[in-house]
Amino acid sequence: MSFVPPDTKCIAEALGDVSKLPRDMQMAVTNKLSESFQSIPEPHGCDWLAVNEEMGQTMKSFEQMAYKAVPRATFKTIYIQPVGSFDHPRAGPLEIIIEFARAFFSGCQVELLPKINFSKDMISRMLYGRIQYRTDSFFDYLSRTRHKRNIMRELVCVAITMADIYPEDSWNFVYGQAHPIKSLGVYSFARLDPLFLSSQKKVMTSQFTDEHRIIMLRRCVSTLLHELGHLFGLLHCIYYVCLMNGANHEIEMDGQPVYLCPVCLRKLYSTFRFSVQIVYEKFANLCETYGLEEECVWYRKRLDCIKEQ
């Protein structure tokens, strides 16, 4: 199995006819002039596309997806349920991550629920001296407690945790898992910590530098947006370097951008009908405030392209 990057004709077909989109969206999904979107590099070793066969998802096939969350009437809230402690200095900064999700999924409310602790009935195990929780325990909890949330507002609900998680006994770990039929997900930020592998050796907090903090923030934001993207029906992208590319390891994850390619942006737009200028402006401002410099430059450059209409 070897991945063949799609040619321009294939990409144009995946994007579909954009002539009826608003002018700013037409500009946002064009790669002409700025060359802001890069081709997918050839995968190597255990890169995602080297070991997973991905067919790609065109705009047309996205529209035909049976299981995807679509905001309607009052059902417009993305609930985020933190599980376990986030008080550690190396934990993902919840409030900041949520601000990015609010900007990205404009048209939805994003609500951070009060933290809960792990309960004794959650299935766990010890692996290499580290406690891990099984993902179905989170799904059980989120299903069981649905009545405690506002069911007239709930669009999707996802648990996030700093604990390590696993989907079944034969797996060592998983970064996250989605349950599209139930509109639920669970994601662990544990392995996004740049010092995760050293954490067994009791890393001093002072060793966690500002650079680590920015890597951690960037990984947490991109993981949450990518995984929520799956719940909204976006499959892995094979058209460009994109937030929705699959990733097998941290190096691949760090090489991926915190933005959607034209094909994926159009899919998200068809669901949320946002103003791309407002979304990009909010996102660029957040990137600037919290030190995601490269991302800030990218969003501002795209805004310039969009405004040149």
Return the number of the residue (50 or 195) whose C-beta is nearest Zn ion: 50
CA 91, CA 189: separation in Å to the nearest integer? 8
Is residue 186 within 8 A of residue 177, CB to CB? The reply is: yes
CB of 44 to Zn ion, least distance (A): 19
CB of 209 to Zn ion, least distance (A): 29
> Tokens standing for 64?
């035909």
CA 215, CA 195: separation in Å to the nearest integer? 11
Return the number of the residue (220 or 242) whose C-beta is nearest Zn ion: 242
- List contacts with Zn ion (CB under 5 A): 237, 242, 244, 261, 264
Q: Which H or E run contains 13? A: helix 8-15
Return the number of the residue (174 or 237) whose C-beta is nearest Zn ion: 237
CB of 86 to Zn ion, least distance (A): 23
Q: CA 75 → CA 103, 108, 139, distances in Å?
A: 18, 9, 20
> Tokens standing for 32?
């002409």
CB of 67 to Zn ion, least distance (A): 15
Return the number of the residue (108 or 264) whose C-beta is nearest Zn ion: 264
CB of 239 to Zn ion, least distance (A): 5
Residues 6+ apart with CB under 8 A from 129: 200
Backbone angles phi, psi at 135, to 5 degrees: -60, -35
Return the number of the residue (184 or 237) whose C-beta is nearest Zn ion: 237
